[in-house]
Amino acid sequence: MVIIKPATKEECLYSFRQHPQIASQTGCIGYLRGDFGKTGQEFFTSWFPISNTLKTEFFCKELDKTVNYLRSIKCGLLADRAHMRGFCAAFPEDEFERGPRCCFRIDTEAHTFILSCTPNCGDYNFYIYCYVRKWFTNHLQDAKGGIRFVDTDYNELFRINDGDRIEVVSLTGDKSEYECRFISSYHVLINNKVFHIMEFAERMEQLGKTYRPVKN
């Protein structure tokens, strides 16, 4: 059984290539990139592996079944560029993070597929990121607790959601913003580097820098 629904803001974060630590924790197997060619009715795909260990025969069957369903008349999302555009337009804008793309979560028996769609000529029209469903779901559940930031006495200063940003201010007043990704209750990915939350607090204190959440 294939279940497809608009992806949440949090799920859309996983429609891109992830840091190796996050890819490992979520059971990322690889991703399929495709487009509909110049006519909008062709179908070209390329596979990019991330974990060959997780690429089992059962996974390959589930991926083939899912793609075939998405291309079928019954669904039509990946039938061609025009069908993709119509499929995305059928959802209210506040249903998911649309922007230049629309994003869907597709669950099968054992896997989760995060499908991002860009129904424009000249672009790659879709990416399907493939995850072990149980690992992916558990990671997102853990991430709901947010990313903690503490001071060097381990007092909690604030929390932000996975994918939100912090502003770091230097002694001279220079400001920089960084996206933050949830790793665990004690670890965060900032500027493509994994920090223990205490390690980050100590580093900032040594450099005389302060940090605060960026309001969306």
**Residues 147, 193: Cα–Cα separation, whole Å:** 15
Two structure tokens written together for 159:
């929390």
- Band of residue 132 on the pLDDT scale cut at 50, 70, 90: very high
Which tens digits make up the pLDDT trace of 47-103?
999 999 999 999 999 999 999 999 998 999 999 999 999 998 887 665 555 455 789
Q: Which class for 173: exposed (0-12), middle (13-18), buried (19 or more C-beta within 10 A)?
A: exposed
Q: Which residues contact 138 (CB under 8 A, 6 or more apart)?
A: none
Torsion of CA 96, 97, 99, 103, to 10 degrees: -80
Please determine, for residue 157, whether its predicted confidence score (pLDDT) is greater than 50.
Answer: yes
Average pLDDT over all residues of the chain: 93
Of residues 208 and 97, the one with the higher pLDDT is 208
Which tens digits make up the pLDDT trace of 32-52?
999 999 999 999 999 999 999
The pLDDT assigned to 94 comes to: 52
The pLDDT assigned to 1 comes to: 72
Q: Is 59 helix (H, G, I), strand (E, B) or coil?
A: helix
Mean per-residue pLDDT, 18-31: 97
Q: Determine phi and psi for 24, rounding to 5 degrees.
A: -65, -45
